[in-house]
Structure 1
């Protein structure tokens, strides 16, 4: 029987501090590289709640660039990282699955709490 080595990676992200949050995640990536899968929390890349930051020009693009940077750091340990996604009209509370240097999948949260953050 094979063993799945899983890390629940808890950080305290700062809302809107993409660079700082990438650094926090990078530090944990180095500690869990022996695992098969490391799961970070909801909106771990951006912090939460984002509120008006979602309206700031360039924030979604900056967050996706930061996600690509994190993906490039992924190795044999797959990462699940929370981020803000957009289709150009709507913004989504999402996760990305990063493995061996690239984003291999993503998922948009379906049942959001009744708050204005993602309305």
Structure 2
């Protein structure tokens, strides 16, 4: 489902499709903060997969915590979260065939 509230700025033509999986038992907040003039923040429930597009140089911050507080628990280069097609090898890629029930948050 396209997310039209926060589209990537026009000058970004190097976006990649990424997948993050919350493998913890806690609710997390996924945030990208290093892209100028763009806001990306999503709640990711335990076991949920988050599919999104982001510039190749961006970092996904994972915040974990309780109601009123959270800590930055991870900062992942989006290059390590790339989802590619079957014929596009990449050392860190998650194959789209192995992730059938994807949550899609298109930017």
Q: Specify if TM > 0.5.
A: no
Structure 1 or 2: more strand by fraction: 2
Structure 1 or 2: more helix by fraction: 1
TM-score norm. by structure 2 comes to 0.29
